Amino acid sequence: MDLVLEPLGTTIFIRALIASALVGIVCAVVGTYVVLRGIAFIGDAIALGVFLFSTINGYVADLFSFLLGNVLAIGPDDLVALVLLGGGVVLVVALLWKELLYATFDPLGAAASGIPVDRLEYLFLALVALTIVVSLQAVGIILVVAMLITPAATAQLVTVRFTRLMLVAALVGIGSSIVGLYLSYWLDVASGATIVLVQTATFLAALAFGPRGLLARRRHAADLALDELAAEARA
């Protein structure tokens, strides 16, 4: 229990915990749509995010923290900005998830029935850019792509319902942020990389054991083969 409570004694750790949990959620929620539409366009969004980041924060002098982030360096003002921006992104998705879903799944059908598909496209690009702004300080530019994609990719191995998919992705995002930050504290290693590694481990576990994972598929295939054998035996 001390292992969990001890780090909470320092405000730096608490701030880092809130920040990484938030980054985990924002990335997972936005990343769900990124995964569903393929990631061909993500380069543009990253460029826009980096551009915004450099204008908002002034250019980050430290290349290392720009690339890899440093969640422990997040100050009180940073955290407020993070909560506002990240909360804003999640709020927009919460209000427009239906329209974003329809436009992603069937852009023709959506546009024909009055969903403003083109405007949603730009809005979504802006959301990804803001997500990157929010995440840069915590995990850096290299790891933000992993943060965007891994939770949703994991969730796809668990469920086929869209609303659950997003929920599972958000849980994976927030869970691995908290676990990863603690691990990095105990093991004294880089926090961003640890968070992403926890996500990767979750993904691999889902890939192996998830209801749509490899074992489930093999079991399904085996069932089919058994059925066939049984049918042949009867015949």
Partner 1 sequence: MTTETPGDPVLHTHPGRSPHSHDDPLDASHAHAHADVWLSDVSAGYADRTALEHVTLAVEPGSLLAVVGPNGAGKSTLLKLMAGLLEPWSGRIEILGAPAGRESRRVAYVPQAELVDWGFPVTVEDVVMMGRFPRLGPIRRPGADDRRAVRDALAQVGMATHIRTQIGRLSGGQRRRVFLARALAAEPDLFLLDEPVTGIDPATQELLMDLLEAQADRGKTIVATTHDLATAAQRFEQVLAVNRTVVAYGPAGILLDADVLAAAYGGHVLQLEGRTVVLDDAHHHDDAAPGERHFHERGR
- Can you give the binding site for partner 1, defined by CB under 8 A? 36-38, 40, 95-96, 98-99, 101-102, 104-115, 156, 159-163, 165
> Residue 104 or residue 137: which is nearer to partner 1 going by CB?
104
Between CA 209 and CA 215 the distance in angstroms is 6
Between CA 114 and CA 94 the distance in angstroms is 20
Between CA 60 and CA 73 the distance in angstroms is 13
> Residue 25 or residue 101: which is nearer to partner 1 going by CB?
101
Min dist CB 104 to partner 1, Å, is 8
Q: Are residues 28 and 173 in contact, defined by beta-carbon separation less than 8 angstroms?
A: yes
Min dist CB 150 to partner 1, Å, is 16
Min dist CB 161 to partner 1, Å, is 5
> Residue 51 or residue 105: which is nearer to partner 1 going by CB?
105
160 backbone dihedrals φ, ψ, rounded to 5°: -115, 0
> Residue 7 or residue 107: which is nearer to partner 1 going by CB?
107
Min dist CB 10 to partner 1, Å, is 40
Q: Which two tokens stand for residue 218?
A: 């093999």
Between CA 233 and CA 186 the distance in angstroms is 58
